[in-house]
Amino acid sequence: MSLEKILSIGGKPGLFKLITQTRSGFVAESLLDGKRITVGIRGNVSMLSEIAVYTLEEELPLAKVFQKIKDKENGSKTAIGHKSDKLELEEYFFEVLPNYDEDRVYPSDIKKVIQWYNILHENGIMDFEDEEQADTSSEEDSNP
């Protein structure tokens, strides 16, 4: 499952999987407890595929940040929890993404990234490779 079907809903803990769209919004299922909820169109909803992290050079898509965490942890959960103190979170994130913009990426953002990565890991959603990147690499493989 790609990050395009994974949602963060304002005011609700954890992450949600998009189930279906309705006339007035959509139905989503919690990745934490499997409960389904309906969310109106006016709800504060973000698709993980649309979120990026500020670096000193550019905005790095969240999928690439998750891939860097996955590489650092060898496919395991993070070494620290999202409830660790501010200094530990910043040190960990600096190891993962040394050029992140410390002025625009807050400790609360780092907590969310770590929590979301661990939720995705628990649900077996670990394929963070860009679909575009996968397409270009398969084209390169087929060319002589």
| CATH number for the domain harbouring residue 28 | 2.30.30
- Contacts of residue 121, defined as CB under 8 A and 6 or more positions apart, other chains included, come to 76, 77
- Residues 58, 102, single domain; the answer is yes
Torsions phi, psi for 70 (to 5 deg): -60, -45
pLDDT of 132: 42
The CA angle 113-12-97, to the nearest 5 degrees, is: 5
Strand ranges across the sheet with 45-47: 36-40, 25-30, 16-22, 6-9, 45-47
- Residues 104, 40, single domain; the answer is no
- Residues 119, 76, single domain; the answer is yes
- Residues 42, 61, single domain; the answer is no
Residue 60 maps to a domain: yes
- Residues 37, 92, single domain; the answer is no
Residue 133 maps to a domain: no
Question: Domain range spanning residue 20?
Answer: 3-48
| Cβ-based burial of 120 (10 A; exposed 0-12, middle 13-18, buried ≥19) | buried
What region, left, alpha or beta, does residue 42 occupy, with left being phi > 0 and alpha being psi -120 to 50 degrees? alpha
Question: Which tens digit of pLDDT belongs to each residue from 3-36?
Answer: 889 999 999 999 999 999 988 999 999 999 999 9
Indicate the pLDDT class of residue 130, thresholds 50, 70 and 90: low
Question: Which tens digit of pLDDT belongs to each residue from 66-105?
Answer: 999 999 999 899 999 999 999 999 999 999 999 999 999 9
- Residues 71, 30, single domain; the answer is no
Give the least confident one: 74-78, 89-93, 114-118, 139-143: 139-143
Please state, in angstroms and rounded to a whole number, the distance separating the CA atoms of residues 28 and 93: 29
- Whether residue 140 has pLDDT greater than 90: no
Specify the number of domains making up the chain. Answer: 2
Residue 137 maps to a domain: no
Residue 112 maps to a domain: yes
Residue 21 maps to a domain: yes
| CATH number for the domain harbouring residue 91 | 1.10.10.1650
pLDDT of 138: 40
The CA angle 93-131-116, to the nearest 5 degrees, is: 35
